[in-house]
Amino acid sequence: MPFAQAPTGALQLKWELQDHGWARCHLANDFHQASLVVSYCTDALADLVAAAGGLYGQQRTTRFFFDAEPQELRWVLRAEDALIDVTIYEFPDVSVSLDLPDAAGTVIWQSAHSRRLFSHAVLNAAQTVFTEHGEAGYQAKWMLHPFPVALVQDLRRLHLRDDACGLSHDHAHPEADEGFPTSQGSRLLRDEGVIAQGPSEGPLGSGHTRPPGARVHRL
């Protein structure tokens, strides 16, 4: 089914940490699935959670990107009436594409969901990866960034307050006093997620290699 005809509905999101600062973000609905490569050159999960949280305010559109080295995978979330339109554009080279308009990219995902279902999916993905790895394990794999505790808690609060979500949150969103850490990550800034350093330029661990032409880019 073409993206343009994709109906609204549920969204499955899964965040899979790999080694050396890589992750995969899996998306699926009833008609499509996609698997996005994500590098730690941006704090990608934090950006996703923050963008979802941004949809509860006056902001109608939020954007962020995953750095797939070298591709840019640009997420655009648009709040339209009661729906969140999710479009992901791929650009071949993030070192030159950040200033390009969306239309210059290739649409690799488009779907629309109620804010309730979208935020629930984001929260569930974040919490599942946290449950699997824990705070220390998360940072051991993601290396440059801690688990975005504060952002997840903010989104959870907004989701529970405003979305009338009838889905289970027992597993998805444990309380802070049930092991959800609060000591770290309480001051996460989206901007600090953009740390694009080549392997020789910063305290990066072994194995995460960047293709030639490494660059520094900022939001």
156 part of the interface to Zn ion, by CB under 5 A: no
Q: How far is the CB of 54 from Zn ion (least distance, A)?
A: 17
Among 167, 176, 216, 219, binds Zn ion (CB under 5 A): 167
User: Binding mask 115-134 vs Zn ion (x if CB under 5 A, - otherwise)?
Assistant: -----x--------------
Residue 74 or 159 having the CB closest to Zn ion: 159
168 part of the interface to Zn ion, by CB under 5 A: no
- For residues 27 and 34, is the Cβ–Cβ distance under 8 A? yes
- For residues 53 and 162, is the Cβ–Cβ distance under 8 A? no
Long-range contacts of 94-102 (CB under 8 A, 24+ apart): 94/65, 94/67, 94/68, 94/69, 94/70, 94/217, 95/70, 95/213, 95/215, 95/217, 97/72, 98/65, 98/72, 98/217, 102/74, 102/76
Partner residues linked to 39 by β-bridges: 22
Choices 3-11, 47-55, 96-104, 112-120; region in contact with Zn ion by CB under 5 A? 112-120
Tokens read off for 136: 């220390």
Among 6, 165, 195, 214, binds Zn ion (CB under 5 A): 165
HSE on the CB side for 4, CA within 13 Å? Answer: 0
Q: How far is the CB of 162 from Zn ion (least distance, A)?
A: 11
User: Binding mask 5-44 vs Zn ion (x if CB under 5 A, - otherwise)?
Assistant: ----------------------------------------
Residues that bind Zn ion (CB under 5 A): 120, 165, 167
